[in-house]
Chains A and B, each alone.
Chain A
């Protein structure tokens, strides 16, 4: 059981293809203003995007650390090319902690403190235990896990920081095929970075107009925004020690402040919910996964 006030906030890696200037300015503001404890930076979805911000990455890391944030370096979700695998090995040489988003990087991380990202399958306490014994000190759980699983895992690895996906479009699938490129009639190699037009992903609706998914290059996310603000205290009861907020074009300083205030008890969850709605009135919220049902729905209690 965690005291909500001692729960920390993690800003997950930016999953979308933002222009380098926007990217740098976003993190500068996070560094200076957001009540965030840990910030994951680095490309997760597509290695072709890496060159665009690799030049500004050292400055951003320095700025975040100067702002008192703990910086974690995120690894690629689906490295298959040799250069992508080498990139993982290079990350592992940095002084910052690395978050593994694919098993391929684990051999480089075993034996020293590292983080397990939400794209690695940790579905039960035995898997969590195995990873913690190899040096994992943070485990961000897969977003589809229900509270019963979250509680069992958190109880099995009390020494680790167990984290839950608490805000943002939910990563649902990763592929070798780029859906942005496919939709624009291009191949992955000739994509011309069409994903950069959709800063929160490209909304996908059903043919009957239901809001359903969002495309982000090779990644597919939910169109709804996971929002566990009302469930945060329950998650604390279950031993969750950190909540992950995933970056969007929303005012993420405001989002993190609303979460912080709610955890600290200075803002009522219902009020926090209204405040989040105000930030993006069009957005649909969901929390079904945590409640053991369809991820797309918002379950009360």
Chain B
């Protein structure tokens, strides 16, 4: 499709709190995604997320300001105890959420059967990395949009989007999962807590630091994730961003502590037919939300009016203070 035929890229922004949601909407978000304050969403961090009243107010606020609210219910329902997850879906529907973002086959089945008018988005946690996978969810549950894993290149995104029978959404900025999302148990291997089951990855409750002759040792559970010399920056010990050793060599074996920034790739993503771009970071501050959403609003507006893309750096805001185009730029192949 050419730029004149397609709809403008939809800017989907994170909100961990009602205040962050208002900040995102004010900064130009077309849609905001957020979750209830429990383990039904994949950012189940202390002090984060919305109770039912806050969600109701947020949906009203967003609607009066022309924005949509997407409710993420993107962990897997616990076997034998689906109640909290089903209640979250029922409540999101009753509160008038624009869509729910789901990953679990059982919950998709429940939502499609119980709320046939509720718009379903397929979470990145469902790990649908091909049009065949996406179309399975479209046919089975009537999914209207799929969020693509961060492991695809732009060419692959274009091919998937072309063959998918629903909209696609790709990550545009923020934390970078190098493992296929929703198919990673690294965190629970070290801590017993996983994204799929508990909505957390490398949880702070299991992080500890100790000094070892001036070196700062970052630990997750019973494992050292990194050792930083006094002059080295110390990052949060996210498991896959740590330094490890093998018989071949040592270092960041899985991924450098970098963040994703696809602003320079927006024309390619738009040409690929992507409907929406997503900013990661429901756990981040309002200042972060304001800066990143504003920058992306400017970039998307420039793209849609065929003006040069602004390229002010967002790197200082990111984890690792370094940004990458990730898999999108095909440097791994």
Contact = CB atoms under 8 A, between A and B. Distances in A.
A40 to B, nearest CB: 18
Interface in B189-235: 189-192, 194, 196-197, 217, 221-227
A212 B244 contact: yes
Interface in A274-301: 288-289, 292-297
A204 B255 CA distance: 14
Which of B240, B249, B253: most chain A CB closer than 10 A?
B253
A174 B179 contact: yes
Contact of A294 (B132, B190, B245): B190
Interface stretch (A2-10, A21-29, A125-133): A125-133
A121 interface: yes
B201 to A, nearest CB: 11
B133 A102 contact: yes
Chain B's interface size range is 35 or more
B221 A294 contact: yes
Interface in B232-288: 240, 242-250, 253-255
Given A119-B183, A126-B107, A215-B246, A179 B253 contact: yes
Contacts of A178: 332
A294 B188 contact: yes
B40 to A, nearest CB: 13
A296 B227 contact: no
A176 B327 contact: yes
Interface in A172-225: 172-179, 182-184, 187-189, 202-208, 210, 212-213, 215, 220, 222
Contact of A144 (B151, B197, B253): B197
A208 B222 CA distance: 11
A124 B76 CA distance: 8
A152 interface: yes
A189 B331 CA distance: 10
A104 interface: yes
B180 A130 contact: no
A177 B333 CA distance: 8
B46 interface: no
A294 B248 contact: no
Given A207-B227, A288-B192, 7 more contacts: A105-B132, A121-B103, A129-B106, A131-B105, A206-B224, A206-B245, A208-B227
